[in-house]
Structure 1
Amino acid sequence: MKNEAFIEILDGILENPYIGIIMVDTLGIITKVNKTYSVLLGLKEENIMNKHILEVTPHSRLPEVLRTREVHLADHWLVNGHDTIVFRMPLYKDGKLIGAMGQSLVLGAAGLKILSKKLKELERELTVYKNVVSSIYSSKYSFDSIVGEDVNLRNVKSIAQRASNTGSTVLIMGESGTGKELFANAIHQASPRADRPFVRVNCAALPDNLLESELFGYEEGAFTGARKGGKPGKFEIANHGAIFLDEIGDMPLAMQAKLLIVLQEREVERVGGTKPIRVDVQVIAATNRNLEDMMKMGKFREDLYYRLNVVTLNVPSLRERSQDIYLLINYLLAKLSQRLHTQVEKVSEEALRLLCSYDWPGNVRELENLLERAINLADSNQDSCLSPEYFPSILGLVVQPSLSIEPVGIERVDNLREAVERMEEEVIQRVLQQTHNNKAQTAKILGLNKSVLYRKLRKYKLYL
């Protein structure tokens, strides 16, 4: 009885005198057409069936629906001189695409005018919602926000700029605080997808049981407490834009397997859902972990690693580009003073030596945080210059050279690179003397890898 009732309802829809229906298979061959649509076309059913849709309606957009698998809602469309409102959608069976369907709502002039007015109102409301979503899910930084003249950093920026044009998957690796999120934002902002959503997901911050529904969404009734009507996941929200999977190394193995399928098929399936949803997103992932070591330990899937590792960016640590410290101090000092509404404009000679001698385990993020703290302390003392006393957390942790240089403020410093290199050379020389030329101990005190230290020794010809 249920099947008979369903067939009656379906027949009623097909024979509705106000709705023209046409269906095609995956090749675009017409498999079904109702009487209303035949009348619209001015053709008999036998002259329509089993022909390619473009033979019957040359301007049909059903082939586009088959290609993109997107739903077209409420297009105003002329069919053989008749004004109609057209709905197009892909058709699935057991999760597999089997064709597409077009429905044309046929109205008189008065009905069309009323419907058109309502659609325009809905379109205005939709534009408001789109603007809200755009303001929430947008990239905040450009490549200009990445400050530094180090050759390795410049190379990484160059690779990232090329990746922004191609839309390829990007894997950003580097220590915590090096600016991986800056690069992700900049890639999206420089890409053709810049006006589409940029959605960030912190894989380490979400509990395992919530990560799947957060990424892929869920249907109504999928679990206790599921929102009525369901909820789109981050991949759906990021459609035609970019998704930034931060801390990808902390993603559970079970979720890694599901993410791999999404990257391969470019489809997501909501929790509790049965239909795959096509998504077109640029995937940008970042981690401060060594994924190759994790693969050896069985903590990260090898197939996912190679799927993510299309374009790789290795962001250098701050201690590997110490000559950029001057530039960063000037840039951050100006930015922070403006944001905090203070008159702190410069750094004293002694404080500058202190900052340049520190190894910065927290990288640029730590430098920015310490500068902000120092600016607040100086401002509370009505002081416009940052002296060592405003950096209490690192006082006594570094070996400070006795090099006389001009204080640095917002103003430009001549021969900046030479000044930094001169200071760096003197610091290394002093520590070598204190450690009696012990390279391993010197590297440890300076917070450098041995290979970095040896490279600098060759650079400055320090053969003590």
Structure 2
Amino acid sequence: MKQLDITNVFEFITEKIDMGLCAIDDSGRVIVFNKKMRELTGESLEQVTHRFVSQSLDFNLEQNMLQKVFASGQAISHVKQTFWNENGEEVSLINDYYPFTLNDGTKIAIQFSRDVTQQEFLMDRPLSRYGAPLTFDIITAVSKSMKQVIQQAKIAAFGRIPVMLVGESGTGKDMIAEGIHHELVEKNDRFITLICRRNEETLLTQIEKYIAEEKKYTFFAERIEYLSMPAQERIIELLESYQDRHHVFIASIGEDPIDLIQNGRLSKNLYYLFSNLTIQVPSLRERREDIKPFIDDYFARRRSNYGIHIKGLAPEVEELFLTYDWPGNLKELEVLLDDISALLTNEDFVDMTLVPAYFKWKLNKAQPISHDTANLFDFSHQELQPLDEYMRKVEDHYIQYALQLNDGNISQTAKSLGIHRQGLQYRLKRK
């Protein structure tokens, strides 16, 4: 049989695959740098070749990892990397590195990179999964307090003035910030979220880069109190230096600004810079009338996007949701609805069997677990049961006990039981 030269096939696959690929030899020569990797880093083959040869420090994680692979001859898996690429975009990758020896004895190291930027973004901002720009028309708000918040935000947009958003975690401050961006009469080029819990040195570098550009940006510094005081003072310097650029600056904090200032967590000067307009975003327990419209809107989007039949909550579940305090606010509510949606099949309404066990534990609605297991193993006064029925009782008892030990946390309970989260949810649903 004639041996085929499939080099072109591999080249085609390398360019088309939706995973970043990079391979270098032991001299640092780049021999593979595919299209996806070029998109992720914003670099051309020539740029990355120069970087590896010159040992530039801009994105040196993969260089260090590939060198470790050469030195040890061992693969390195699941290395997370977050950086700002050459296009000024924040990118998060999960990297795997492998050593390989070619037929001619040449040793190379290969990097496989999966793009998890969007997943990271949604973990930080689960309330942004609308598939459309977050305008004020999209935000579900029927309460007087939230209508007032939106009215104040529109005033901020009209005047292009700095805004400080104050509210508990999960109240939707990021939604208000993006709503201001889209409400601007003279549109800005881009909405940039600055997550202040991440590397502040990188964050400051990017602010300095963007703020000096001729384009007009809307900056949203999320939870700015997480930055160190020197970093906060540096932001003040930058904002004061480029006031004529017509950027829009929005910041959020999670606690009372006066308390943060007194505790040394918020710069007084930074607060004064944003205090032209301070908007207090109320917690969900302070505006319970927004709960049902939010849920109705959530399921309407699910029906539209996924073609499911769900109409809403059964009366007993609705009452439960309306009386619960929601310490995690809208974020907690939407994550709970996501978990419920993962269990939906052909149901029209969400009843108590679809409410996750961890939420029932929070409400103390789960049946208390008896620590007396004697009845499960006392066969002297009862007839034999079918084995599968008996084993299910034992399993249910053990799962409830594990849930109690883990405070109702589904993920942690599944991990401790050595099963997948979906498997645990299935077992809880059948009860």
TM-score (norm 2): 0.51
Residue equivalent to 1:210: 202
Secondary structure of 1:156's match?
helix
Structure 1: gaps spanning 5 or more residues: 1-128, 130-135, 217-232, 268-277, 401-464
Secondary structure of 1:143's match?
coil
Where do 1:315-394 residues align within 5 Å? Answer: 315-379=281-345, 382-392=346-356, 393-394=358-359
Separation of aligned partners in 1, 2:327 and 2:304: 26
Separation of aligned partners in 1, 2:361 and 2:149: 34
Q: 1:191 and 2:184 equivalent?
A: yes
TM-score (norm 1): 0.48
Please tell me whether the aligned partners of residues 241 and 282 of structure 1 are also in contact (alpha carbons under 8 angstroms): yes
Please tell me whether the aligned partners of residues 216 and 245 of structure 2 are also in contact (alpha carbons under 8 angstroms): yes
Please tell me whether the aligned partners of residues 161 and 190 of structure 1 are also in contact (alpha carbons under 8 angstroms): yes
Please tell me whether the aligned partners of residues 378 and 384 of structure 1 are also in contact (alpha carbons under 8 angstroms): no
- The structure with the larger Rg is 1
Size of the alignment, in residue pairs? 237
Separation of aligned partners in 1, 2:318 and 2:214: 43
Separation of aligned partners in 2, 1:327 and 1:244: 27
Residue from 138, 151, 155 that aligns with 2:144: 151
- AA at the equivalent of 2:242: R
Would the alpha carbon gap of residues 139 and 349 (structure 1) be closer, same or farther in structure 2, given more than 3 Å must change?
closer
Separation of aligned partners in 1, 2:288 and 2:225: 28
Secondary structure of 2:287's match?
helix
CA RMSD, 1 decimal: 2.6
Moved over 4 A (4+): none
Separation of aligned partners in 1, 2:347 and 2:195: 39
Secondary structure of 1:372's match?
helix
1:176 CA displacement: 1.0
Residue equivalent to 1:165: 158
Please tell me whether the aligned partners of residues 358 and 394 of structure 1 are also in contact (alpha carbons under 8 angstroms): no
Separation of aligned partners in 2, 1:239 and 1:182: 23
Please tell me whether the aligned partners of residues 212 and 242 of structure 2 are also in contact (alpha carbons under 8 angstroms): no
Residue equivalent to 1:91: none
Where do 1:58-77 residues align within 5 Å? Answer: none
- AA at the equivalent of 1:297: N
1:399 CA displacement: 8.0
Residue from 347, 357, 360 that aligns with 1:395: 360
Structure 2: gaps spanning 5 or more residues: 1-86, 88-120, 122-130, 366-431
- AA at the equivalent of 1:394: F
Separation of aligned partners in 1, 2:212 and 2:316: 53
| Residues 362-382 of structure 1, C-alpha deviations (whole Å, 9 max, x = no match) | 111111111121122122xx3
Please tell me whether the aligned partners of residues 199 and 238 of structure 1 are also in contact (alpha carbons under 8 angstroms): no
Q: 1:262 and 2:251 equivalent?
A: no
1:387 CA displacement: 0.7
Residue equivalent to 1:201: 194
1:330 CA displacement: 0.8
| Residues 301-324 of structure 1, C-alpha deviations (whole Å, 9 max, x = no match) | 111111111111101110001122
1:294 CA displacement: 2.0
Would the alpha carbon gap of residues 237 and 353 (structure 1) be closer, same or farther in structure 2, given more than 3 Å must change?
farther
1:139 CA displacement: 8.7
